[in-house]
Amino acid sequence: MSLNKYSSTIIISMRKQTNGGIIYLFPNIIVRLMYLLPLMFLWRVLASQGVEVGMSLEQMLTYTLMNALLGEMLVVQTFMSSWNYEGQVLSLYLRPQPVFGQIIAQTIGEWIPMLLAFSIPMLFIAPLIGVTVIPATLWFFPSLLLCISLGFAIDFIFACLTIRLKGLSWLSHSIKMAIMTLFSGTVIPFKILPFELTKAFEYQPFGSLGGAPLSLFTGISDPVRIIPVQIFWNITLWTVAVVWFRKSKERQVSYGG
């Protein structure tokens, strides 16, 4: 019964994204294409000029494409911080599921329309433009699950930070996105970083987000090194998220009330 309730939440959240029609997904699709196409052109130009970046052209193209297709999963963003500010989080306590479970289910539901409208079609188009969409190792799939799990934990920790900052959700969001952009390895692969920074960035908690599964998908990292680090950070940060949220519930303030 509990699983049915979560699946119902996922379906409702999925349908909400297209209540106005499929055309409302087009702006998001255009934004992703505007990110994807210039970067892929840049990598081709650099390769044609013989620039050595520590990755082959095929790996760079695949890395960039998969980041665009799975971006929402690689760096998880939930509505938790903004809902805390607006007071909507309080309504979650009136429902018969745990707060974290409801947020995870709703967030997953929000991913599905773009996966169906953009990511899956692009998987079929990619080979036609010379991009490989077959993972170098099957360890990519457990790594992706660990990445998503850790993404939720980190987002909940930042939600607790928002509570401690007494509703400054925009400040918390800005801090989180700045850190994610720099340290997650989604935009800039760790492999091309200078001064032997690759390992240092892989072992910090944000390095177990998008950069970890993408590096396994393209075959530039070893799963023996990546997976244990992801498991460690999942255990550590989920513990922090659960304990801190439990202690922060009494501090929730929305619109001064």
Contact 114, 195 (CB under 8 A): no
First CA to last CA distance, the chain: 34
Which pLDDT score is estimated for 1? 44
Which pLDDT score is estimated for 257? 46
Kindly state the average pLDDT of the residues 220-245: 92
H helices within the chain, ranges in order? 2-16, 26-48, 57-69, 71-74, 80-86, 89-92, 99-114, 120-125, 140-164, 169-183, 198-203, 211-218, 223-248
For residue 183, give every residue at least 6 positions away whose Cβ sits within 8 Å of its Cβ, in sequence order, or none.
Answer: 201, 204, 206, 207
Maximum separation of any 2 CA atoms in the chain, in Å: 61
Tell me which of 257 and 60 has the higher pLDDT: 60
Q: Which amino acid is at 65?
A: L
Which pLDDT score is estimated for 86? 59
Which pLDDT score is estimated for 201? 82
The angle that helices 211-218 and 223-248 make with each other, rounded to 10 degrees, is 160
Three-state SS at 24: helix
Which pLDDT score is estimated for 10? 82
Contact 80, 163 (CB under 8 A): no
Q: For residue 146, is pLDDT > 90? A: yes
Tell me which of 166 and 197 has the higher pLDDT: 197
How far is 193 from 187, CA to CA, in rounded Å?
12
Kindly state the average pLDDT of the residues 57-86: 83
Contact 45, 37 (CB under 8 A): no
Kindly report, residue by residue over 75-111, the tens digit of the pLDDT: 888 877 666 655 666 667 667 777 788 888 888 988 9
Q: For residue 52, is pLDDT > 90? A: no
* Cα distances (angstroms) measured from residue 226 to each of 101, 222, 242: 27, 6, 24
* Cα distances (angstroms) measured from residue 6 to each of 109, 112, 131, 246: 10, 15, 36, 22
Kindly report, residue by residue over 205-216, the tens digit of the pLDDT: 898 898 899 999
Of the given ranges (67-81, 102-116, 161-175), which has the lowest mean pLDDT? 161-175
- The predicted model scores a pTM of 0.88
Kindly state the average pLDDT of the residues 230-242: 94
Q: For residue 185, is pLDDT > 90? A: no
Q: For residue 228, is pLDDT > 90? A: yes
Q: For residue 119, is pLDDT > 80? A: yes
Which pLDDT score is estimated for 45? 85
Which pLDDT score is estimated for 90? 67
Measured in degrees and rounded to the nearest 5, phi and psi for residue 134 equal: -105, 125
Which pLDDT score is estimated for 99? 78
* pLDDT band of 150, cuts 50, 70, 90: very high
- DSSP letter at 207 equals G
Contact 41, 116 (CB under 8 A): no
Which pLDDT score is estimated for 94? 67
Task: State the chain's mean pLDDT as an integer.
Answer: 82
Nearest Cα residue to 154 out of 68, 233, 56, 62: 233
